[in-house]
């Protein structure tokens, strides 16, 4: 599907409309709620971009290149910097935990911190 | 259209027993600020708030990356609008940040039980009442907490057309999210307002600052200079970054313009709406003309968005190119420069 079609299909489902100011026939400004075409295109692109990134992360995990933490981070639209701040660790440490062999040896207390930050259970965190 | 908006108005009863009327707004921060002042009995529109608080801005900051992309902004820095408006209208207001989430939430409960309605800065990703397409890691979204309910809060989000419920857990996460531009539990409310605020001097102060920000900041990434800089970057981008990356960057600029904050070159149209109101306030035809010019500029911005969206969507198959998109951006740059120069000269006349 094309990006703007994807976007239109989601927008139809949730039915949420944004307001924007447009001049009416008399040139007076009013709040209009029809999305503009460029908005649907770039938003569609963004949404499909995120989906692609999550899917890519999932494949990397299944291929054994990355730990499941990488997938859950992508799912929450975070990067290592945001995740590190949220769990209160250094970026270096979080990046290290993205390696599967190191992630598999993590203590439950560390896993718990990640689970809390990403709002998943510990079991979910270990799988994709 | 106006009837349709009027029907969508939703009233809520706040703790202090007053009726709060929720109004749909184009932009979260100006919407929240306007609603907070309306609650205290000041009749002020969203566009007026945007103008008085000098919301008009342009900046392209290539050295600050936000999810891997340089920041392009079409409005002033988040969190500055409310204090500016409150100062210029001469009211007393309260703002505070919290480091500790428990303390921040307790303070919110106290403020609500004291009868205030409270503006909050939040991360939009953790507000789960939004549909997924709106949820992304952005730390500058503003909402109003109206009252506490079971397991959560009743909130008025100006982007939505009706008040919603938000669970305590969601709100806590959203208020104390980490990352770039952290909200740090920022909350604010209006304490007292002046009976009949002097809108004229407030407008003048707001317009003056906007003129300064757009024309005179001695920094190549801000204001009109920033637009010209970004236009050049866009024209060069396919050679410099390769086609796919250039497309992502261009889409990001359009997204910032169309989606983050308002739809469709929205800040330009909102400023035009403000100039229209100011023209009525001062009885000045020159301001009315500037308002029309601003509308025309907004239309060019929208055209820029359309051309860029075509470039991005058709991946180089159409005749639209990066050079055309960049060139289209230079037109509003020139016209906005002219407009703000005229506005600046006009201000001296209006001040007398």
Write out pLDDT tens, residues B179-200.
877 889 999 999 988 888 889 9
Measured CA to CA in angstroms, residue A63 lies from B54, B55, B65, B351 at distances of: 52, 48, 30, 69
Same domain, B206 and B338: yes
When the pLDDT of each residue in chain B is averaged and rounded to a whole number, the result is: 85
B47 touches chain A (CB under 8 A): yes
Angle, in degrees to the nearest 10, between helices B266-282 and B285-314? 170
CB-CB under 8 Å, B264 with A36: yes
Among A14-18, B209-213, B313-317, B318-322, the minimum mean pLDDT is found in: A14-18
Domain boundary residue, one of B160, B192, B224: B192
Q: Is residue B85 part of a domain?
A: no
Among A6-15, B91-100, B311-320, the minimum mean pLDDT is found in: A6-15
Which residues 123-152 on chain B approach chain A with CB closer than 8 angstroms?
125, 130-137
Q: Is residue B48 part of a domain?
A: no
Same domain, B209 and B322: yes
> Does the structure show a pLDDT above 90 at B241?
no
CB-CB under 8 Å, A2 with B133: no
B30-86 pLDDT tens trace: 889 999 998 888 888 888 999 999 888 888 888 887 767 888 888 888 888 899 999
Q: Is residue B66 part of a domain?
A: no
Domain count of the fold of chain B: 2
Q: Is residue B166 part of a domain?
A: yes
Domain boundary residue, one of B192, B212, B240: B192
pLDDT band at B342 (very low <50, low <70, confident <90, very high): very high
B207 vs A11, higher pLDDT:
B207
Cβ-based burial of B292 (10 A; exposed 0-12, middle 13-18, buried ≥19)? middle
What is the chain B residue with the closest CA to A41? B309
Same domain, B173 and B250: no
> Does the structure show a pLDDT above 60 at B113?
yes
pLDDT of the residue at A2 = 60
The interface pTM score, or ipTM, of the predicted complex is 0.82
pLDDT band at B344 (very low <50, low <70, confident <90, very high): very high
Domain boundary residue, one of B192, B218, B235: B192
Domain range annotation of chain A: 1-9+19-63, 65-128
B23: containing domain? 2-41+92-192
Q: What is the CA radius of gyration of chain A?
A: 20
Residues of B in contact with A85 (CB under 8 A): 178-179
Give percent above pLDDT 70 in chain B.
93
* Terminal alpha carbon distance of chain B: 39
Average pLDDT for B87-92: 89
Which one, of B211, B256, B13, B208, lies nearest residue B117 by Cα? B13
Give percent above pLDDT 70 in chain A.
77
Q: Tell me the CATH number at B36.
A: 3.90.70
DSSP B217: -
pLDDT of the residue at A40 = 72
pLDDT of the residue at A110 = 93
Helix, strand, or coil (residue B85): helix
Average pLDDT for A21-48: 72
Apex CA B46: angle with CA B43 and CA B50, to 5°?
A: 115
Please, are residues A117 and A80 in contact by the beta-carbon 8 Å criterion? no
Which one, of A30, A104, A20, lies nearest residue A69 by Cα? A104
B278 vs B303, higher pLDDT:
B278
pLDDT of the residue at A61 = 92
CB-CB under 8 Å, B67 with A36: no
Same domain, B160 and B217: no
CB-CB under 8 Å, A20 with B263: yes
Measured CA to CA in angstroms, residue B205 lies from A68, B54, B78, B144 at distances of: 53, 8, 19, 26
How near does any CA of chain B get to the CA of A89, in Å?
Answer: 12
CB-CB under 8 Å, A28 with B262: no
- Cβ–Cβ pairs < 8 A, chains A and B: 136
pLDDT band at A79 (very low <50, low <70, confident <90, very high): confident
> Does the structure show a pLDDT above 50 at B1?
no
CB-CB under 8 Å, A49 with B133: no
Q: Is residue B216 part of a domain?
A: yes
Same domain, B207 and B256: yes
CB-CB under 8 Å, B309 with A41: yes
Apex CA B187: angle with CA B181 and CA B190, to 5°?
A: 130
How near does any CA of chain A get to the CA of B264, in Å?
Answer: 6
Please, are residues A20 and A31 in contact by the beta-carbon 8 Å criterion? yes
B248 touches chain A (CB under 8 A): yes
Which one, of B26, B309, B206, lies nearest residue A46 by Cα? B309
CATH number (1.10.260.40, 2.60.120.10, 3.60.20.10, 1.10.3720.10) of A65-128 reads 1.10.260.40
Same domain, B164 and B124: yes
């Amino acid at each position: 599907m094309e990006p703007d079609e994807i976007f239109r299909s989601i927008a139809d489902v949730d039915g949420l409309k944004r307001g924007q100011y447009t001049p009416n026939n008399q040139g007076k400004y009013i709040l209009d709620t029809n999305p503009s075409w460029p908005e649907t295109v770039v938003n569609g692109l963004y949404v499909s971009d995120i989906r692609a990134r999550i899917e890519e992360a999932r494949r990397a995990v299944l291929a054994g290149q990355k730990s499941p933490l990488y997938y859950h981070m992508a799912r929450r639209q975070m990067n290592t910097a945001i995740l590190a701040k949220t769990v209160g660790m250094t970026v270096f440490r979080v990046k290290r935990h993205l390696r599967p062999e190191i992630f598999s040896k993590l203590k439950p207390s560390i896993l718990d911190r990640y689970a809390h930050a990403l709002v998943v259970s510990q079991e979910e965190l270990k799988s994709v | 259209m106006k009837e349709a908006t009027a029907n969508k108005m939703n009233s809520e009863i706040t703790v202090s027993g007053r009726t709060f009327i929720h109004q749909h707004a184009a932009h979260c921060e100006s919407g929240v600020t306007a609603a907070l002042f309306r609650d205290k009995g000041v009749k002020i529109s969203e566009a007026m708030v945007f103008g008085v608080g000098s919301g008009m801005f342009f900046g392209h900051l290539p050295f600050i990356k936000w999810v891997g992309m340089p920041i392009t902004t079409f409005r002033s820095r988040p969190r500055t609008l409310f204090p500016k408006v409150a100062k210029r209208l001469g009211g007393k207001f309260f703002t505070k940040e919290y480091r500790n989430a428990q303390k921040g939430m307790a303070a919110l409960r106290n403020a609500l039980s004291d009868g205030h309605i409270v503006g909050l800065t939040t991360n939009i990703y953790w507000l789960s009442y939004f549909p997924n397409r709106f949820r992304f890691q952005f730390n500058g979204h503003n909402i109003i907490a109206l009252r506490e309910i079971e397991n959560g809060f009743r909130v008025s989000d100006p982007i939505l057309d009706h008040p919603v419920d938000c669970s305590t857990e969601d709100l806590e996460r959203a208020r104390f999210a980490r990352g770039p531009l952290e909200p740090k539990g920022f909350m604010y409310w209006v304490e007292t307002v002046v009976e009949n605020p002097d809108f004229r001097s407030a407008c003048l102060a707001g317009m003056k600052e906007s003129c300064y920000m757009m024309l005179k900041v001695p920094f190549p990434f801000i204001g009109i200079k920033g637009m010209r800089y970004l236009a050049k970057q866009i024209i060069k981008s396919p050679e410099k970054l390769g086609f796919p990356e250039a497309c992502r960057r261009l889409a990001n600029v359009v997204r910032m313009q169309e989606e983050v904050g308002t739809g469709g070159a929205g800040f330009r149209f909102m400023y035009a709406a403000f100039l229209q109101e100011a023209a009525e306030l001062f009885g000045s035809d020159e301001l009315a003309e500037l308002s029309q010019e601003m509308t025309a500029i907004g239309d060019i911005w929208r055209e820029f968005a359309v051309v860029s969206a075509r470039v991005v969507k058709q991946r180089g198959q159409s005749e639209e190119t990066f050079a055309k998109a960049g060139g289209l951006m230079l037109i509003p740059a020139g016209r906005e420069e002219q407009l703000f120069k005229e506005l600046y000269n006009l201000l001296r006349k209006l001040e007398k």
